[in-house]
């Protein structure tokens, strides 16, 4: 049987303070855009998880299905088959690890929480499965509500907005309201503008430039820009794994504009940059 999850809410998980919090990405998939196939074996996944924790990740976000543009969904059974052995292995070697699961399926979330995961990262903001809200409510765990226009398979074809910042902000406000109406504690809600999910370069830049409008909703903001295509377009770096410097710049500026959680592949680089940014921004306030 799985261990009992200690779902003590955002404050309990993040007893260390208001952040910034580095969330290390671990994709247990064959096809993720930058680390696909690297961590399918639970042993290799647990080793990478331990390395990210040692580098300063406070949360590990595990995904069992790629949501990169053009990707196809996998079955819930397959998602569970990929994730559960990895969660169990990580918690066997690092019992204190805080594990988030990147899923929009209630069955996967239930299985993952039963195995010891403590957060749910739902890229559909609780729209993908009608039972997800009640699973999160029952677990009383934090949930990440992300904005996405369209579906991963087609979302980058022709993303369109009249005013991307206003539309994303209104969507997140509405999804948070709906989560609270379903019984989820507002203290357990984290919002995410969904960088690259149905957004072109200009949309991503507009959102990052005006992130304070999203932070003004009053929920902590998560940014997932790590190694994404828009960074490659700006820097000219084709290889996703080499987009570290562009990612770090994005992380620092998003932090300055009010983001708290940073979902990244390169933990050490982003954590060190955030430590420097935090010292500059907050040490000597006059």
Q: Looking at 79, 192, 206, 266, which residue binds ligand HH2 (CB under 6 A)?
A: 192
Does position 224 interact with ligand HH2 (CB under 6 A)? The reply is yes
Q: Candidates 29-37, 40-48, 155-163, 245-253 — which segment interacts with ligand HH2 by CB under 6 A?
A: 29-37
Residues contacting residue 225 through CB under 8 Å, at least 6 positions apart: 195, 196, 204, 208, 231, 247, 250, 251, 254
End-to-end CA distance of the chain: 54
> Within 116-145, which residues bind ligand HH2 (CB under 6 A)?
121, 123, 144
10 is annotated as an active-site residue: no
| Coil vs helix vs strand at 137 | helix
Instruction: Note if 157 is an active site residue.
Output: no
The count of residues in the chain is 286
Tokens of 27: 């994709």
* DSSP letter (8 states) at residue 280: H
Q: Does 103 bind ligand HH2 (CB under 6 A)?
A: no
Interacting span for ligand HH2 (CB under 6 A) from 26-34, 43-51, 112-120, 159-167 = 26-34
- Residue from 52, 53, 117, 146 binding ligand HH2 (CB under 6 A): 146
Q: Of 22-30, 83-91, 131-139, 249-257, which part binds ligand HH2 (CB under 6 A)?
A: 22-30
Shortest reach from residue 240's CB to ligand HH2, in Å: 8
| Angle at the Cα of 267 from the Cα atoms of 263 and 273, rounded to 5 degrees | 95
109 exposure class (CB count in 10 Å sphere: 0-12, 13-18, 19+): buried
Do the Cβ atoms of 144 and 100 come closer than 8 Å?
A: yes
Smallest Cα–Cα separation from 226: which of 206, 203, 202, 243?
A: 243
Degrees to nearest 5, angle at CA 34 with 32 and 38: 75
Task: For residue 222, state whether it binds ligand HH2 (rule: CB under 6 A).
Answer: yes
Least distance (Å) between residue 279 CB and ligand HH2: 26
Catalytic residue among 228, 243, 257, 271: 228
Q: What angle do CA 190, 40, 231 make, to 5 degrees?
A: 50
Active-site residue identified among 82, 118, 263, 271: 263
Rule CB under 6 A: say whether 255 interacts with ligand HH2: no
Q: How far is the CB of 121 from ligand HH2 (least distance, A)?
A: 5
Interaction between residue 27 and ligand HH2 (CB under 6 A):
yes
Does residue 262 interact with ligand HH2 by CB under 6 A? no
State the alpha helices, DSSP H only, in the chain: 9-13, 42-54, 76-93, 106-114, 132-139, 164-181, 201-209, 211-215, 229-235, 244-256, 267-282
Q: Count residues binding ligand HH2 (CB under 6 A).
A: 21
Question: Could you tell me which stretch among 59-67, 112-120, 252-260, 269-277 binds ligand HH2 (CB under 6 A)?
Answer: 59-67
**Does 208 interact with ligand HH2 (rule: CB under 6 A)?**
no
> Mind telling me the catalytic residues?
228, 263
Give the residues lining the site for ligand HH2 (CB under 6 A): 25, 27, 29, 32-34, 63, 66-68, 102, 121, 123, 144, 146, 192, 194-195, 222, 224, 263
């Amino acid at each position: 049987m799985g261990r009992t999850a200690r779902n003590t809410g955002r404050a309990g998980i993040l007893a260390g303070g208001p952040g910034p919090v580095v969330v290390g990405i671990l994709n247990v998939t064959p096809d993720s855009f930058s680390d696909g196939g690297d961590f399918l074996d639970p042993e290799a996944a647990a080793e990478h998880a331990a390395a990210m924790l040692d580098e300063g990740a406070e949360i590990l976000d595990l995904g069992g299905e790629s949501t990169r543009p053009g990707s196809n969904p996998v079955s819930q059974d397959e998602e569970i088959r990929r994730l559960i052995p990895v969660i169990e292995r990580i918690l066997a070697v690092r019992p204190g690890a805080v594990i988030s699961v990147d899923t929009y399926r209630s069955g996967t979330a239930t299985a993952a929480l039963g195995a010891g995961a403590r957060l749910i990262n739902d890229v559909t903001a609780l729209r993908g499965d009608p039972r997800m809200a009640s699973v999160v409510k029952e677990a009383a765990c934090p949930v990440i509500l992300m904005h996405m226009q369209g579906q991963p398979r087609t979302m980058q074809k022709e993303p369109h907005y009249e005013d991307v910042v206003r539309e994303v902000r209104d969507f997140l406000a509405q999804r948070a309201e709906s989560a609270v109406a379903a019984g989820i504690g507002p203290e357990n809600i984290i919002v995410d503008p969904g960088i690259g999910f149905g957004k072109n370069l200009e949309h991503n830049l507009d959102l990052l430039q005006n992130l304070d409008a999203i932070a003004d909703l009053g929920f902590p903001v998560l940014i997932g820009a790590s190694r994404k295509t828009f960074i490659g377009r700006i820097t000219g770096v084709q290889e996703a794994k080499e987009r570290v410097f562009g990612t770090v710049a994005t992380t620092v500026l998003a932090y300055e504009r009010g983001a708290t959680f940073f979902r990244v592949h390169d933990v050490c680089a982003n954590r060190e940059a955030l430590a420097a940014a935090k010292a500059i921004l907050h040490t000597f306030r006059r």
